[in-house]
Structure 1
Amino acid sequence: MKTYYQKLLSLSFLIFAMSFQVFSQEEPTEKPVYRISGKIMEKGSGEPVAYAAVSLIDVETEKSIAGAVADFDGEFVITNFKNGTYQVQVSFMGFQSFASSTITVTDTNYDIRLGNISMETDAVALQEVTVMGQRDLIEEKVDRTIYNAENDRTLVGGDAADVMRRVPMLSVDLDGNVSMRGSSNILVLINGKQSAIVASNVSEALKQIPAEEIKSIEVITSPSAKYDAEGTGGVINIVTKKNNLQGATLNVNSSAGIRGSNLGLNASLKRGKMGWTLGGFGRAGYNIIGAFENNQIVTGADGTVANIFQAADTRTNMMFGRYNFGWDYEINKFNFLTASVSFGLRNMSNRQDGLLTETFIEEELVSSLLRDVNVRNRSNNVDVNFNYTKTYEKPLKEFSISGLYSQNNLTNDFINSLYTGTFDEILNRVKNNDLGLNQEFTLQLDYVTPLGDGKNHILEYGAKNILRRAESDFAYFIADGADGEFEKVDDINLSNEFSYDQNVTAAYASYTTNFLEKYSFKGGLRYEYTNINADFRNSEIDADIPSYGLLIPSMNLSRKLEKGNMIKAAYNRRVQRPFLNFLNPNINAANPQQISQGNPLLDPELTDNYEMSYSTFVKGSSLNFTAYFRNTTGSIQPVRTVMDDDVIYTTYENIGFERAYGFSVFSNVNLSGKFSLNGSIDGYYADLTNGLEDPMFAASNQGFVISGRLFANYSLPNNWQLQSFAFARGRQVQLQGFAGGFGMYSLNINKQFNEKKGSIGFGAENFLAREMVIRNELNTPMIMQQGSNTMRNMNFKINFNYRIGKLSVDGPRRRKRGVTNDDIKEGDGGASGAMMNNN
């Protein structure tokens, strides 16, 4: 469906885009222009049906004489036909086909205006269940790209990270870390809101959201002033399925495999103006085995060169759960209430069995150590949301007030057991406990009002306040032997309490206008003031962080071309505040040879984004081409140095700059009514430098990063469906090295039964190779490191889904607003421990 945001678009070079107006004007002619025009609307909601296919059929021969494709506003014009008797037919996926009455074209009746054509959604009766028809898998809107995950049957048994791997412009590594066009500094929202669980660690939060609960994922590369200024790469909004039906229903979905299984139950009840939803989903991963090797050459301060080799087998087990209760109430035609509470939990265990560390100096073995490492990562969270929306007789006019309270409790522990020189018994053990607490309270006001006739001018403004508190209570303990009691280490650098309070106050205004018939412009200005207080409770360490204010402009410009094509340009400035695992001062020494620590004194990074794109629609297939430039100053990057005993120390610093020159191409192709294919290619050239002159610390790196994906769907007879997916990403450029590339693929076949009330299927993932190896590089004047991680993630699974109950359509859902906290930089899953990072 289409909101008024789709009448806007992305911005910057106004004169360049307006030049297309000249070439789109029709040549004057003295001959009559034969044409049939109209506008295609969705029955009930009245929203335009973009990209609907329109055919002009000769009644006598029953052949197609001419055709057209509706534009973004649902408008179409058919030309290039002669006198005769015709019928107009309209078709689009998810809607019932439309056929007009007979039209007679003569010398005096050659310009025919059909007006609005209403199309009904293609509802299929399933005994007592009504299911809405599918839409395209990928939709290109004027301000965002939408991936309709509810139409992807290969995702049964997966999670949100599996869904994002299929979305154009996004890249997800094997740990679930998400990047957009090469930038990991993105904002991830859930139904337009961000909770403390997402703020703590995006990759872990994604594992708690089952794929079956996701309706769509929206990728917003150039956010307007309404959004928080955070998120250098853009905004990702995960839209979950909501209930707008009358009646009661219960849905059971499950999957069982050799590497992971899940079980979910979801119920909904709608009676009159009030609705309730209750759901829960659990996912377990087990026996996920792998290995890693690491070879590093380290130059010490005295010039001694050490060659250190590490290797271990790994085992991972995990269990995730998320439960929610929602309520909504339509007070009257113009007033609407929603509220929800959700609970989540995570229990994850990572083991390194037989971590062998061998140190050579001038090819002589000087040390050989054997350890077992056990890392436990646990958390539980609660989110409470409330929203009140008031609408008016005047279309698009709306006021809303939203509130959010979120709390996330985290526990990050590790135990490192060192064996004796004979490797036959444990000499001592080291334990690190890190108890974290994240709390967040948000209040937001938004007001939208059309100006004048309300068709071409819209004004939006609002205010927001976010109060955050993050705490980390960390401590180290040591014990002798395998059974000795742990004793706390009396060192304020290893055992302390750290608190971090952040208060962000913001106000914004945004103006949207349509002009010169085919142009849309949206410009806005946002001001944010951030106040920060940080404190080490058990020491006198000075963590004074100054407050700062930021003025954030944004501009978007679009121009509609012929046949639904569109060109758009955009510019915006974004800020990325350091938070969470970037700041946590707890020293993570699970691997004593490679330790990491956050930096509480980091400054925010500032990015200017420029973007241009072109969208077209050719014979039922959509194409999008985008070019962009991103310039970041003060980019937050991991920095490695050498400590005593040849230990590599990782922390975070604001480097000089980071530039990215990129492009993306993606297409959605409907080859027939049964077979569809979509894919994308994303690439960018990265240029990073820390701006230092000292050759011992100066660092820079450049290179190309390419990724691509391909998805195919084929509908077989008798309600069988076959789907396949493949994704690959080349190595990523980092300040001091490269992160290795990887690929993955899957194949699913599903069968619907009992009048499509249930489905059962079989899926296979990464089934052609037993192992996947990812190779990483690190290069500094003091460090040369090559490492590899091996994962055995081949998985075979059986999927089952069944729905019972009685539902009927309750009409179009009322638009609802909510809190959108768009404002924290997430880590790469690598360094610091617990306060808000869950590795």
Structure 2
Amino acid sequence: MFNFDPARCGLVPSLCIRWLLPSLVLLAPQSIWAQQHASVTGAVAKSTGGPIELATVTLHLATDSSVVKTEFSDAQGTFRLDAAGSGTYLVSVAQVGFNRYWSPKFELPPTGLTLPGIQLVPSQATTLKDVVVTARKPLFEHKGDRIVINVADSPLSSGATALDVLGRAPAVTMDVSENISLRGRQGLLVVIDGKRTPLTGRELADFLRALPAEQLQSVELITNPPAQYDAQGGAGIIAINLKKDQRHGTNGSVNMGYGRGVYGKFTSGLALNHRSKKTNVYGNYAYADRRGFVLQDFARQYSATSQLPLASSVIANEQRSHLRSHSAKAGLDLTLTERTLLGVSGTVLHSFTEANTDNKTLFYNEVREVSGRYSSRVEQDINRPNGTLNLNFRHSFADSANAKFITADADFGRYDITRQQELRTVFEVPAFPNSTLTGDQQSSLVIQALKADFSQPLPQRARLDMGLKVTRIVSDNNVEFTRLVNGTSMRDGAISGPFWYEENVNAAYISMRGVRAKTALQAGLRAEQTNTRADVEGAVPFRRNYMQLFPSASLQRALNERHALGATVARRIDRPSYAQVNPLRSYFDITSYRSGNPNLVAQTSYNVELTHTYRQKFITSLAYAQTDQPIVNVVQPSPDGGRLVVNRDVNLSTQHYYALSLTAPLEPTKWWTLYSNAVFYYSRFQGELAETKLDRSRPAFLFSANNNFSLPRGWSAELNGNFQSREIWGFEDARARGQVGASLQKSLWNKQGSFRLNVTDIFYTNIIGSTSDYANFSETSRFAQDSRVVTAALTYRFGNSKVAATRKRTVGADDELRRAGGQ
């Protein structure tokens, strides 16, 4: 046994976490496996007579309606549900075309129980010759360790991008460098259809900006993932799930939308699906043509050095961009046997961006006299062809939904960037010769992954999961810069050259989970061996090889019918991406550029969270995390000298994070639902950079509210708003910001079509401002873009839409990746 001594924790919460993690992992299974087995049996029939086959029969805990077991009725309508032991339960029965049935509460004796015959009453939809599926998922769902946003049902998604959707998601924010945060923490793993997206910062933002929201089915925000997931992502995981029609027969849809802010934004798409008993063939395509602008202003203060006096500058950048993107997905699922599935899918996202940035710069000396005046223009053509392939396999060893099964996935992805850049500068004061800097950047990023998982049911309602995964990422980069001064062109060897980065992660995990009458517990351990290599021309290669363990555990306990408690604890990691360590430059304007830091090391974090659920929907949580060597974005004078500024990432010493989260889904009336979320958090950063010792902290909060209104005559409406208070992130002090959006939707053509009208950032308040202070330098910035947009969109669905969705006895590999550990 373990003897816990609170005195061992001292005043450092992370010591408690480090002690509790292995304790929970080892103790996890003990109270679960020792439960007695009992069964609930019964039969389902129509109220008019005759058994109902393939009805979904679910056993729930009576205390909080949480799911214990789900099975299908057989050809005679009979079913059997196994429970961990005696207790108070409910049974629900659902079948398309019938009203859902809920049983009264009942006590399950150790010897089992046979329920009275269950009769389902036909719903009004059965007055038609065929069944019409009209159910709409709620926009937000809370499922254990995650919040699910059903993007496909949101009118605000019309004409938007995946980045827009995330920007409006509860507790999700972005900073001036377009780093994505969840509940005030950076360090997120983004996966699309279960596949890791190996991009961060602006590159990730540009990728999501090119992905139309019409392609999205749902987005999952997972704050404490179980061991089945990669350990990458200290703040959690954002799982983006693309659309995939599950209906039987041949179906399709077309959509078109046009939005107008200062500039126009056009999207269109087509989706097709054919599903039979043995095969499912699907595909979709979307085209986007989006124009926009970015206004970015800087005010900088430079301390005096041995070479340069005290100075300041004011910089104004105005960028106009034109993005055109093609995105597509196609796949084939084969049912080889009743228990064996094989699937193959591929995605393509090809975007081309033209961006022109006009810059005006004024420099002042120590007495505020103009010491420099010049202007520049940056012209960029950015070509991004990306593609992924997936082969997946699943085999169940029995027909039971609780049978053991094995899954395997092979993934390949390639992300390319070709960036042609020309920076022209005209100097007025002092009268230097005009100059032109031309850049030609070629980058390829290849990710390969092999993954296998095995799941084995254990006695007494427990389950053992284990798996292996091998991932390899290779990034090959080269940039050539040429300077043209007074008609003379010369290669700039100091900032040109190749960069090679390779990362290999070998992982294995084991996880146990089980359920008893009022308790669900899961514990897992993941081991990851990491091998990285970075080669820079003219420098000694950087190599790092290390292995780390990542334990995790979660406990859910129903106290009574109204109250439930939960706890999760985990250790996680954030490895630097290839872009964060790539030292090759990308110029914003004549005064600043972006460059990676090859000396970056991975940040690791210990995370613990306690939750309380009231009446199955009101959720309160307390969270703490300690991150060692946190990675933060900084701006500093360039080592080139002069007044050039470099934007890069560095490691600090420690970050302490405390958070209180409140979630309240409300239904003020039958026609109005409200989902509100608030996060109150406190971050403290410690470290040192450029002779500046950092020990800064600040309380902050996030708030979001989404209102949905069901109106007469097929109309519906949505009103969304979010607010981010002032916050601290490392050396950066960010100002408050927020936005409000609204939409209307009208069902058309017997609910086969819909018209949507929406407006985003109505009051144009989503403007990001921040100040970064160092002993040798300070910068205040303001970032605004074309975010106030009015969009009209039309969608039409065609095909065999009146046929019920196919019942899946097994779970596909893609679904398993998304649902791993989420019950």
Residue 440 of structure 2 is aligned with which of 433, 437, 449?
A: 433
Please give the per-residue CA displacement for 1:638-657, whole angstroms capped at 9, x wherever unaligned: 24433421333333222111
| Contact 2:523 2:554 (C-alpha < 8 Å) held by counterparts | yes
SS in 2 for 1:230: coil
Aligned partner of 1:521: which letter? L
| Contact 1:290 1:789 (C-alpha < 8 Å) held by counterparts | yes
Q: Distance in 2 between matches of 1:614 and 1:559?
A: 10
Q: 1:91 to 1:546 in 2, by over 3 A?
A: closer
Residue 289 of structure 1 is aligned with which of 290, 293, 297?
A: 293
Gaps of 5+ in 1: 1-10, 22-36, 53-67, 76-87, 104-110, 823-839
Please report how far the alpha carbon of residue 102 of structure 1 lies from its aligned counterpart in structure 2 after TM superposition.
13
Please give the per-residue CA displacement for 1:388-445, whole angstroms capped at 9, x wherever unaligned: 1000215241101110011111123432111142899992211222211001111111
Please give the per-residue CA displacement for 1:323-368, whole angstroms capped at 9, x wherever unaligned: 1111100011111001011111122233222423333332121111
Report the counterpart of residue 58 of structure 2 in structure 1: 48
Does residue 572 (structure 1) correspond to residue 570 (structure 2)? The answer is yes
Report the counterpart of residue 371 of structure 2 in structure 1: 366
Aligned partner of 1:519: which letter? T
Does residue 804 (structure 1) correspond to residue 804 (structure 2)? The answer is no
Residue 680 of structure 1 is aligned with which of 677, 681, 702?
A: 677
Q: Which moved more, 1:175-184 or 1:301-310?
A: 175-184
SS in 1 for 2:692: coil
| Contact 2:179 2:202 (C-alpha < 8 Å) held by counterparts | no
Q: Distance in 2 between matches of 1:562 and 1:304?
A: 70
Report the counterpart of residue 525 of structure 2 in structure 1: 525
Q: Which moved more, 1:196-205 or 1:723-732?
A: 196-205
Q: 1:478 to 1:716 in 2, by over 3 A?
A: same
Q: Which moved more, 1:602-611 or 1:418-427?
A: 418-427
Q: Distance in 2 between matches of 1:434 and 1:296?
A: 29
Q: Distance in 2 between matches of 1:74 and 1:388?
A: 25
Residue 304 of structure 2 is aligned with which of 300, 306, 310?
A: 300
Does residue 416 (structure 1) correspond to residue 440 (structure 2)? The answer is no
Residue 227 of structure 1 is aligned with which of 219, 222, 229?
A: 229
1:299-698 counterparts in 2 under 5 A? 299-302=303-306, 304-393=309-398, 394=400, 395-421=402-428, 427-452=434-459, 455-480=460-485, 487-489=490-492, 491=493, 493-515=494-516, 517-536=517-536, 538-539=537-538, 541-563=539-561, 565-617=563-615, 622-643=617-638, 644-690=641-687, 696-698=691-693
Q: Which moved more, 1:221-230 or 1:155-164?
A: 155-164
Aligned partner of 1:438: which letter? L
Q: Distance in 2 between matches of 1:417 and 1:778?
A: 28
Report the counterpart of residue 277 of structure 1 in structure 2: 282
Report the counterpart of residue 816 of structure 1 in structure 2: 812
Q: 1:354 to 1:401 in 2, by over 3 A?
A: closer
| Contact 2:482 2:491 (C-alpha < 8 Å) held by counterparts | yes
Residue 216 of structure 2 is aligned with which of 214, 219, 238?
A: 214
TM-score by length of 1: 0.81
Aligned partner of 2:302: which letter? V
Report the counterpart of residue 720 of structure 2 in structure 1: 725
Q: Which moved more, 1:410-419 or 1:569-578?
A: 410-419
Aligned partner of 1:299: which letter? S
Report the counterpart of residue 148 of structure 1 in structure 2: 150
SS in 1 for 2:205: helix
Please report how far the alpha carbon of residue 128 of structure 1 lies from its aligned counterpart in structure 2 after TM superposition.
8.3
Aligned partner of 1:532: which letter? T
Q: Distance in 2 between matches of 1:204 and 1:349?
A: 13
Report the counterpart of residue 75 of structure 2 in structure 1: none
Q: Distance in 2 between matches of 1:122 and 1:776?
A: 56
| Contact 2:57 2:94 (C-alpha < 8 Å) held by counterparts | no
Does residue 750 (structure 1) correspond to residue 745 (structure 2)? The answer is yes
| Contact 1:504 1:531 (C-alpha < 8 Å) held by counterparts | yes
Please give the per-residue CA displacement for 1:154-213, whole angstroms capped at 9, x wherever unaligned: 222222223334433333458764211222211111222224568993322322333233
Q: 1:195 to 1:327 in 2, by over 3 A?
A: farther
| Contact 1:39 1:74 (C-alpha < 8 Å) held by counterparts | no
| Contact 1:168 1:666 (C-alpha < 8 Å) held by counterparts | no
Q: RMSD of aligned C-alpha atoms?
A: 3.7
Please report how far the alpha carbon of residue 768 of structure 1 lies from its aligned counterpart in structure 2 after TM superposition.
3.5
Please report how far the alpha carbon of residue 153 of structure 1 lies from its aligned counterpart in structure 2 after TM superposition.
2.3
Please give the per-residue CA displacement for 1:264-312, whole angstroms capped at 9, x wherever unaligned: 11111123311111211122221x2343321111013227210111123
Higher relative contact order structure (alpha carbons within 8 Å, sequence separation ≥ 6): 1
| Contact 1:90 1:97 (C-alpha < 8 Å) held by counterparts | no
Please report how far the alpha carbon of residue 446 of structure 1 lies from its aligned counterpart in structure 2 after TM superposition.
0.5
Report the counterpart of residue 32 of structure 1 in structure 2: none
Please give the per-residue CA displacement for 1:497-541, whole angstroms capped at 9, x wherever unaligned: 1111111111111111224x21121111111111122223x42x0
| Contact 1:122 1:132 (C-alpha < 8 Å) held by counterparts | no
Q: 1:796 to 1:651 in 2, by over 3 A?
A: closer
SS in 1 for 2:669: coil
Q: Distance in 1 between matches of 2:404 and 2:752?
A: 40
Report the counterpart of residue 164 of structure 2 in structure 1: 162
SS in 2 for 1:690: strand
Number of equivalent positions = 744
Q: 1:794 to 1:195 in 2, by over 3 A?
A: closer
| Contact 1:338 1:388 (C-alpha < 8 Å) held by counterparts | yes
Report the counterpart of residue 26 of structure 1 in structure 2: none
Please give the per-residue CA displacement for 1:238-274, whole angstroms capped at 9, x wherever unaligned: 2223222221122111111214220111111123311
Q: Distance in 1 between matches of 2:320 and 2:131?
A: 44
Please report how far the alpha carbon of residue 610 of structure 1 lies from its aligned counterpart in structure 2 after TM superposition.
0.6
SS in 1 for 2:152: helix
Please report how far the alpha carbon of residue 44 of structure 1 lies from its aligned counterpart in structure 2 after TM superposition.
3.5
SS in 1 for 2:589: coil
Q: 1:428 to 1:242 in 2, by over 3 A?
A: same
Q: Distance in 2 between matches of 1:101 and 1:684?
A: 42
Q: Distance in 2 between matches of 1:232 and 1:161?
A: 20
Does residue 787 (structure 1) correspond to residue 792 (structure 2)? The answer is no
Q: Distance in 2 between matches of 1:777 and 1:94?
A: 56
Q: Distance in 2 between matches of 1:514 and 1:710?
A: 34
Q: Distance in 1 between matches of 2:210 and 2:295?
A: 25
Gaps of 5+ in 2: 1-19, 32-40, 46-51, 71-89, 106-112, 819-823
Residue 186 of structure 1 is aligned with which of 179, 188, 197?
A: 188
SS in 2 for 1:349: strand
1:89-108 counterparts in 2 under 5 A? 97-98=99-100
| Contact 1:370 1:423 (C-alpha < 8 Å) held by counterparts | no
Please report how far the alpha carbon of residue 699 of structure 1 lies from its aligned counterpart in structure 2 after TM superposition.
2.3
SS in 2 for 1:201: helix
Please report how far the alpha carbon of residue 471 of structure 1 lies from its aligned counterpart in structure 2 after TM superposition.
1.2
| Contact 1:321 1:346 (C-alpha < 8 Å) held by counterparts | yes
Report the counterpart of residue 12 of structure 2 in structure 1: none
Give the 4+ runs in structure 1 shifted more than 6 A: 11-15, 37-43, 49-52, 88-95, 99-103, 115-129, 197-200, 422-426, 819-822
Q: Which moved more, 1:671-680 or 1:440-449?
A: 671-680
| Contact 2:55 2:95 (C-alpha < 8 Å) held by counterparts | no
